[in-house]
Amino acid sequence: MAEPAGNVFGPINAEPGDTSQFSSVIVYGGNTFAADAAAKNKGVYGFKATYAGTRNGAAGARTFSNQTSLYVRQYFYIDPAMDLNVAYTVNALLTLLQASGSVQLVIFEMTDGGGDKLPERWRVAGQGLTAAMSLVNWSMGAWHYVDIYWIAHASAGGAVVKVDGTQIFSQLNINTSAYVCNLAWIGDAGGVGSTNPDAGQYLYYDDIKADTRGWIGSYADMAGLGQSMRGGFSAMRGKFVK
């Protein structure tokens, strides 16, 4: 049974063979962000962010209607040769924002936590959140998926983040009632010159979706299930009822 589409957006999967599923593409310093057959997680295409070695901005931006509670899933792959060139720096992989004021509500990123300029762990930060790092399910050169839950609330607002199904961050005790989520950056949109990956290094992104009903993949596509059952019954009837 196919995983259902998100009811806010998605799947964003590059299957048109271009970046038309995004509202805009953000690149700096000769970087590129494009559909690429090598970047696929499923299907034919995924998105490849390729760096020119001068700045770190390469992302797709997707706007959507105002949400006060949201679940987002994204698949991604980090070049096994990736480096960040500056000790203790970061490169965002997925950011949820309020477009007005460019308020970064939740930022999921890779970071150099050891001072050797190499990405080696996850980092979560955002508006009102206490930034934290994690080694859970960390690796490069392999596909991962991140799930983010964000909620606006006067006293129980905040975010939960999972990598490959394992929780790495949870903070649901802050006042986020002044914000709505209506923008996602897939990739790093910062454009900071001092934290650039080397020329030719890359990131892959695929199968991004957002929903209000629960963690992506945790609910059944009942319409699709019903169609499958009806198709199965019809086939059985054709075989046994003459």
Render each residue's pLDDT in the chain as its tens digit; 242 residues: 456 789 999 999 999 999 999 999 999 989 999 999 999 999 999 999 999 988 889 999 999 999 999 999 999 999 999 988 877 778 899 999 999 999 999 999 999 888 888 899 999 999 999 999 999 999 999 999 999 999 999 999 999 999 999 999 999 999 999 999 999 999 999 866 566 788 999 999 999 999 999 999 875 444 443 443 344 433 333 333 33
Give the global pTM.
0.89
| Token reading at 229 | 């059952």
Q: Which amino acid is at 40?
A: K
| Start-end of H helices in 133-240 | 222-240
Q: Identify the CA nearest to 62 among candidates 70, 54, 50.
A: 70
Interstrand relation of 121-125 and 46-50 (parallel, antiparallel or unpaired): unpaired
In CATH terms, the fold of domain 9-240 is Jelly Rolls (2.60.120)
